[in-house]
Structure formats: C-alpha cells, structure tokens
Chain A
C-alpha cells in the first residue's frame, strides 16, 4: 500500500516590511510641515467688499436719516500716526469717546479717514478699529491723489 503523498505547504513567510523608509518619509513630511506652516493667527478687515450685499435690511423710514443728510466726520491721520479731528489732535481715548458720542447721537454718521501717505499701516488700522468699536457702520478711507 502506497502512502498518500504529502504535499508540503510552503511555510507562510513573515513578511517583515521594512519600516525604515516609511519612517524616513514621515519624518521628512513632519519637518516640512513644521517649517512651512505659519502659526500666526490671521484675521482680515475688508477693504473692498463684494457688492452683492448692497440691499439695506431696513428701508429708510421718515425718522431715519438718508445718506445725503447724514453728517460726516473727517479723521485725519498725520505722518506720525496721530489722529486729528477738526484740526484738533486727539489721543486715542479722546478719539474713541468723540467717535462714540458722535455715532450715538447720529448713527448714520459717515466717518471719513484721511491718512497721510507717510503714516504707518498700524495707525490706519487702529483708527478703523476705534471707529468700528464706537459703532460706526459707514466707514471710508479717502486719500488725496495728485491731479495728472
């Protein structure tokens, strides 16, 4: 009697994937993301807004001022970054209280900011922020342009 043939199964090979290349790639990605990312928290202030949201929420009633009647308050920013209204140099708290008083009294007040070309960016942003915090909704930055 013949013995049944025993087929030998190939032993399962422990596929030991080499992990070193994977770790290399991971480390490179890690260093890449660490180096290229910026961690500064960035916000924005719109300078030019899309014109789609032009429709005012409330129709101007008889007691609300129309744009033509609304007073304007011109805030100048000098070359050193100081603010002045009606020729009077104002400290930041004075400017804030003036803006708050004006806007509370006449909410439709248009605040115009006329900065000197030599003023730093921070001065403009600070004045814009003061006006926003005072509740001014109509804010505009104007600039003098040389006539060609």
Chain B
C-alpha cells in the first residue's frame, strides 16, 4: 500500500503572519517609547499637571534621591558633571539642559546645581516632571 506523501508546502508560508506581527510590535514600541532620559538610578520625577511638553534633545542631568548625579545616563562625580557641562555650554550656549531630579531629592542637592548651570551660561534649563503618579 502506498501512502501518498502530502505535497511539500513552501516553508515560509506560515512565517509571514509572524513577521507581520513582529513588525507591528517593533513599530509600536518605536513610536510609544522614548529613548532619552534613561538614568542609572531609580527615577521618579515630581508630579505636576501644569508642565509643558518636554522637547527631545539636549543634555539630561539626573539627580538621584540621595543626590548622586548622572549626565546623559552615565553616573559621574559632581566635578566631572560640571566640567562636561561647562565644555558643552562653551560649544553651544543655547544647549537645552533638563534636570531630572527625584521627587524626594533634597532641594539643597538640586537648586545649587541649577544656579551653577545658570552661572556657567546656560540659557535653557527645565525641570522634568510627570503628570501622572505611577
């Protein structure tokens, strides 16, 4: 008795919907997520509903709850942060600097930084807030 073999189907046939879904997810995450403002610390910006939309670009200065600093996602000692920002401000005085401070960070760790930035010639400094409590 001969059992007929099923005709070989093209191997990629059932994969096409999978690729569709993966592409869809990829585009979704590209659109929904934002790649900036990452930080090495656990961040929780202060809650405020009157904030303006945060533009992309610029430098991100992160202040952790205990006052530790990070510039553009890299944890650095305060002197290094100041030195780097001074260099960047010297190159581009209109550099947008966002200060992403933890909502429980003490103000004596945050306000002198902003004063320092202003003294270094920064013209555009913004505090990062979030309109929602997680």
Interface residues of A (CB under 8 A from B): 16, 19, 22-23, 26-27, 29-30, 33-34, 36-51, 77, 115-126, 128-129, 132-133, 141, 143, 145
Contacts and interface: CB of A to CB of B under 8 A. Distances in A.
B82 interface: no
Contact of A121 (B104, B123, B124, B130): B104
B81 to A, nearest CB: 16
B15 A43 contact: no
| Highest count of chain B CB atoms <10 Å: which of A27, A33, A132 | A33
A94 to B, nearest CB: 19
B25 interface: yes
Nearest to A119: B107
Given A41-B130, A42-B130, A46-B126, A119 B106 contact: yes
Given A36-B35, A50-B124, A141-B111, A44 B54 contact: yes
B80 interface: no
Contacts of A143: 107, 111-112, 115
B70 interface: no
Interface of B: 10-12, 15, 18-19, 22-23, 25-26, 29-30, 32-35, 37-38, 45-55, 63, 94, 98-99, 101-108, 110-112, 114-115, 117-118, 122-132, 134
Query: Which one of B10, B18, B35, B126 has the greatest number of beta carbons of chain A within 10 Å?
Result: B126
A118 B108 contact: yes
A36 B23 contact: no
B37 A121 contact: no
B110 to A, nearest CB: 6
B107 A16 contact: no
